[in-house]
Amino acid sequence: MSNQFYPGAHIAELFFPLSNNENSVLQVIQKIVAGGYYRGFETGIIHQPEIAKSIRELAEQNKMHVTQWLTFELLKDNLNLGSLDKMLRETSIKRACELVHLAAECGTSKLSLVSGSDPGAARREEAKEGFAEALIRIGEVVNQYPGMLMQVEPLDRFAHKRQLIGPTGETVTWMTRLRADCPHLYLAWDSAHVALNEEDLAESLRLAAPLISQLHLANAILDPQAQGYGDYHMKFGEPGFLTDATAAHIVATAKDLPLPPELGEISIAVEMRTTADDDLWDNESQCRAFLQRALAAAQ
C-alpha cells in the first residue's frame, strides 16, 4: 500500500521577512487556508494569545495540520539543547518546555526542533546524551497535549550547519533507542541536509522511514568549491541538486516505504527562504507548482 502525502506551506521560510510580525503571519495563514490547496502549514512560535487562538480555530475549522519550529526562538537567545555546558542546557530545556505550552495554544500537532552544534568526535556521545535528556524532559510536557508529537530535524554535520544530530544511520540508531523514554519522537527529513552529508537520498529515506513524520524538499549547492555551498534555503533547481526529477524521485521513493502507520498521511513542503526584495506570493506560487509537479510525477 502506498503512503499518502498532504501538501504543506512552510510559511516561516516562504514568508520569512514577515516572521516577526504575528499579525502578518496570521494574514498569510488566512490566505493560505482560503487558497484551498495546502492542508498544513509551518510557522515559528506565536506569542500573542489572540493570534494563537485565531490560528487554532482556523486550523480546526479547515482540518489543517499545524507544525511549529522552536529553532528561531532558541537561536534568538543563543540557547542550545545539546550544549555540553550544563547550565546553558538547563536554561535551554526550561525555555523549550515553556514554548511547548505556547505551541499548544495554536493547536500545534508537530513541535519541531534541531539539536545544536556538534562539539566534535571526542565529545559527541556526551553531547548526544545531554540532548537525549533534553528531549525526554520536553517530551514529558508534549505528552500533556494529546495529538502533539515532537520531531527532530537532522542537519548537516560537516558542510555548513555542523550540527550534533546529522547523518541518517547514526541518527536512526540513536533515536530508536531514545524512543523507549520518548515515545512521541519522530524525524523531520530534509533533502538538503541529507545531500550535504553526502548521503544517497533514497537510502536515507529507507533508513529513516519508520521514524519520518514529514518531508522537506530543500535545495543546496553541493560542490564545496562553488559559491553558495551549504544550506541557504535556496530556490529549487540548478545550480542546486533539487531539480523536478530529484523531487519526484524523493516522493516516489517515500511513497512505498514503511512510514509510521499511526501518523496516517505525512506532510511534504518546499523549504525556500525569501528576502524583503522578493515578491513573496509569487515565490509561494512557484513553490506550490514545484510541489504539485513532484507529487504528480510520483504517482
Q: Is the dihedral of CA 164, 170, 174, 176 positive or negative?
A: positive
Q: What is the pLDDT of residues 267-287, one digit of tens each?
A: 999 999 999 999 999 999 999
Summarize the confidence of residues 171-181 as an average pLDDT. Answer: 97
Cβ atoms of residues 204 and 189 within 8 Å:
yes
Question: To 10 degrees, the CA torsion angle through 41, 42, 46, 52?
Answer: 20
Q: What is the residue-averaged pLDDT of the chain? A: 96
In this predicted model, what pLDDT tens digit does every residue of 234-266 receive, in sequence order? 999 999 999 999 999 999 999 999 999 999 999
d(CA 210, CA 103): 25
How many CB atoms are located within 10 Å of the residue 37 CB? 11
Domains and CATH numbers, the chain: 65-297 (3.20.20.150)
Indicate if the pLDDT at residue 2 is higher than 80: no
Per cent of the chain over pLDDT 70 is 99
> Residue 1 above 70 pLDDT?
no
Q: Using one digit for the tens of pLDDT, what is the confidence trace for 124-159?
A: 999 999 999 999 999 999 999 999 999 999 999 999
Q: Residues 81-113: pLDDT tens digits? A: 999 999 999 999 999 999 999 999 999 999 999
CA–CA gap between residue 143 and residue 283 (Å, rounded): 36
Omega of the bond prior to 239 within 30 degrees of 0, cis? Answer: yes
Which of 215, 123, 198, 119 lies closest to 156 in space, CA to CA? 198
Find the mean pLDDT for residues 217-237. Answer: 95
CB of 229 closer than 8 Å to CB of 159:
yes
